[in-house]
């Protein structure tokens, strides 16, 4: 299996080179040359596998044997040893048609741990095997940063710098990132929003001399390894459901920001998981809802919501979807992305919108609706949702219930991470110990302006 770019100007590369490249060197996103197919029989033969064993099978379809089986197995085992649930990602049944896949039992209590614990270990492995310098640079709306830092702090041969929007992440997210005292970690708190942080990161990665001089590596969902790791739990959730219930296919509802998680679902579907509808849940930053429902992809005013990890306008993985939507035609992708850059928006024809809606449906959740969903699920099921997971549930309630077949709604964070919203409802929760202990630790971070030059200077003195 080789990997290419959505813009068509990266020569086919192998798995580890793809992992190290992150963003395509032509500015596009990396995708597999062909998506491997898993037929129904093979899929069924995986029904009893643990999440870890399933991940080994799925990754083996992509790694070209570049990582010996025993090493890949050990990397996977190590990555999930710190998850507190024996099932790693437990599937909880709320009623006949609704199941919640809990993705938040990792070290930083958000779904990002599923991919990033593995990527941290893989970077350490590659650093050793290939004697590569690994300088990780990423932007975060809160959870990616915490998770990536946790996955590599203190590891030899790796440095990590994370940009987060100053004051626009939850208290726990900020503490998870900034209380890590290891010298291989630098937190930059940027006076701007997440899109500003992501924009600067993209520019730095697109500056090829800078990227290669400082050996920049990506952990954001521009990295295809992250997408692939996340696709595994769509297989897992499907196979965890009893065969008679999943027989006609399964729907998923996905709290969405950067389009990474839902794109992983799209990939799983293309690989052969019988997924019926992928319901994209957004908050009030609903560019993707407008794209799917109206065929207009256009950033609008940024809003702060109860679900800050979804406060995103320009979604990185949109381009990957566009690539498949346009029939894997990289010239057409390049033309549309250039048009987007020039005009600040893309418009799709009614025929195109109809085709988009065969892949995806969408629902934007208001702040009030997010809170009322948390309230009603606490009352009805005694189940406390975090505000991101609540958006997924609200989308299921509104857009999803007319679909046939069972629904799996992805729970992307632990409620303790977003106590600000939970407290507005007068609900008191007990924090897990790993969160409670953060409040007493000293913080380390550097506040910087939303300016590429200033940030590049910080990097130049931190990365060696």
Ligand X SMILES: *Cc1c(COP(=O)(O)O)cnc(C)c1O
Verify binding: residue 415, ligand X, rule CB under 6 A: no
Please tell me the distance from the alpha carbon of residue 313 to that of residue 340, in angstroms, as a whole number: 13
From candidates 79, 166, 309, 334, binder to ligand X by CB under 6 A: 309
Please tell me the distance from the alpha carbon of residue 239 to that of residue 223, in angstroms, as a whole number: 26
Q: What mask, x for binding ligand X by CB under 6 A, covers residues 131 to 150?
A: ------------x-------
From candidates 99, 105, 112, 159, binder to ligand X by CB under 6 A: 112
**Minimal distance in Å, beta carbon 75 to ligand X?**
22
Instruction: Between 108 and 330, name the residue whose CB sits nearer to ligand X.
Output: 108
Instruction: Between 176 and 184, name the residue whose CB sits nearer to ligand X.
Output: 176
Binding to ligand X (CB under 6 A) within 216-275 occurs at 221, 255-261
**Minimal distance in Å, beta carbon 293 to ligand X?**
17
Of 113, 142, 120, 124, the residue nearest 51 (C-alpha):
113
**Minimal distance in Å, beta carbon 173 to ligand X?**
9
Q: What are the CA-CA distances from residue 316 to residues 117, 227, 232, 300 (Å)?
A: 21, 12, 20, 16
Instruction: Between 120 and 459, name the residue whose CB sits nearer to ligand X.
Output: 120
Please tell me the distance from the alpha carbon of residue 27 to that of residue 40, in angstroms, as a whole number: 36
**Minimal distance in Å, beta carbon 104 to ligand X?**
8
Contacts of 307 (CB under 8 A, 6+ apart): 255, 283, 370, 387, 388, 390, 391, 418, 421
From candidates 38, 58, 110, 371, binder to ligand X by CB under 6 A: 110
**Minimal distance in Å, beta carbon 146 to ligand X?**
9
Sign of the four-CA dihedral 461, 29, 165, 439: negative
Binding to ligand X (CB under 6 A) within 157-216 occurs at none
Instruction: Between 173 and 179, name the residue whose CB sits nearer to ligand X.
Output: 173
Burial profile 132-152: b = 16 or more Cβ within 10 angstroms, e = fewer: bebbbbbbbbbbbbbbbbbbb
318, 324, 326, 331 alpha-carbon torsion, rounded to 10°:
80
Please tell me the distance from the alpha carbon of residue 163 to that of residue 201, in angstroms, as a whole number: 8
Instruction: Between 282 and 330, name the residue whose CB sits nearer to ligand X.
Output: 282
Judged by CB under 6 A, how many residues of this single chain contact ligand X?
A: 16
Instruction: Between 13 and 114, name the residue whose CB sits nearer to ligand X.
Output: 114
From candidates 16, 188, 222, 310, binder to ligand X by CB under 6 A: 310
Q: What are the CA-CA distances from residue 43 to residues 38, 225, 249, 336 (Å)?
A: 6, 21, 13, 36
310 within 8 A of 255, measured Cβ to Cβ: yes
Instruction: Between 261 and 285, name the residue whose CB sits nearer to ligand X.
Output: 261
Binding to ligand X (CB under 6 A) within 359-388 occurs at 388
From candidates 225, 412, 416, 419, binder to ligand X by CB under 6 A: 412
**Minimal distance in Å, beta carbon 147 to ligand X?**
8
Instruction: Between 223 and 330, name the residue whose CB sits nearer to ligand X.
Output: 223
384 within 8 A of 396, measured Cβ to Cβ: no
* Residues with catalytic function: 112
Please tell me the distance from the alpha carbon of residue 255 to that of residue 365, in angstroms, as a whole number: 10
Residue with tokens 């990754």: 59
Q: What are the CA-CA distances from residue 252 to residues 59, 81, 320, 392 (Å)?
A: 22, 27, 19, 9
Helical spans, DSSP H, in 179-305: 194-206, 208-213, 224-240, 243-246, 260-271, 287-294
Of 173, 393, 206, the residue nearest 283 (C-alpha):
393
Question: CA 67, 71, 72 angle in degrees (round to 5)?
Answer: 65
**Minimal distance in Å, beta carbon 116 to ligand X?**
11
**Minimal distance in Å, beta carbon 112 to ligand X?**
5
| Binding-site ranges for ligand X (CB under 6 A) | 110, 112, 143, 221, 255-261, 309-310, 388, 412-413
């Amino acid at each position: 299996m080789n990997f290419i770019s959505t813009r068509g100007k990266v020569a086919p590369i192998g798995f580890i080179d793809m992992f190290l490249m992150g963003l395509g060197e032509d500015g596009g996103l990396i995708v597999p040359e062909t998506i491997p197919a898993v037929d129904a029989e093979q899929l069924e033969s995986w029904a009893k596998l643990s999440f870890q064993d399933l991940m080994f099978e799925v990754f083996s379809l992509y790694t070209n044997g570049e990582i010996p089986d025993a090493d890949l197995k050990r990397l996977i085992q190590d990555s999930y040893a710190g998850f507190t649930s024996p099932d790693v990602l437990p599937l909880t049944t709320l009623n006949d048609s609704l199941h919640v896949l809990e993705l938040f039992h990792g070290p930083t209590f958000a779904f990002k741990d599923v991919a990033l614990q593995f990527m941290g270990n893989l970077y350490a492995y590659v650093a050793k095997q290939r004697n590569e310098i690994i300088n990780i640079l990423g932007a975060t709306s809160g959870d990616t940063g915490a998770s990536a830092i946790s996955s590599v702090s203190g590891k030899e041969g790796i440095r990590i710098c994370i940009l987060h929007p100053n004051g626009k992440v939850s208290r726990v997210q900020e503490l998870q990132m900034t209380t890590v005292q290891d010298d291989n970690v630098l937190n930059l708190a940027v006076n701007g929003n997440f899109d500003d942080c992501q924009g600067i990161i993209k520019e730095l990665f697109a500056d090829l001399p800078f990227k290669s001089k400082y050996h920049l590596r990506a952990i954001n969902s521009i990295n295809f390894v992250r997408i692939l790791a996340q696709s595994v739990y769509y297989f897992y959730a499907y196979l965890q459901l009893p065969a008679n219930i999943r027989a006609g296919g399964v729907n998923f509802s996905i709290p969405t920001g950067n389009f990474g998680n839902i794109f992983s679902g799209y990939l799983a579907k293309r690989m052969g998981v019988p997924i019926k509808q992928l319901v994209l849940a957004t908050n009030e930053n609903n560019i993707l809802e407008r794209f799917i429902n109206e065929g207009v992809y256009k950033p609008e005013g940024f809003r702060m919501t109860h679900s800050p990890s979804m406060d995103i306008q320009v979604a990185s993985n949109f381009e990957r979807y566009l690539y498949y939507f346009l029939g894997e035609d990289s010239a057409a992708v390049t033309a549309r992305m250039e048009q987007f850059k020039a005009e600040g928006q893309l418009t799709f024809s009614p025929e195109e919108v109809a085709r988009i809606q065969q892949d995806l449906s969408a629902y934007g959740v208001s702040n009030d609706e997010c809170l009322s969903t948390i309230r009603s699920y606490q009352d009805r099921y005694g189940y406390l949702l975090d505000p991101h997971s609540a958006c997924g549930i609200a989308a299921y309630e509104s857009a999803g219930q007319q679909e046939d077949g069972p629904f799996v709604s992805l729970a992307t964070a632990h409620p303790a991470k977003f106590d600000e919203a939970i407290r507005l409802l007068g609900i008191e929760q007990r924090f897990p110990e790993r969160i409670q202990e953060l409040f007493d630790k000293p913080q380390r971070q550097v506040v910087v302006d939303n300016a590429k030059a200033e940030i590049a200077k910080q990097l130049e003195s931190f990365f060696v």
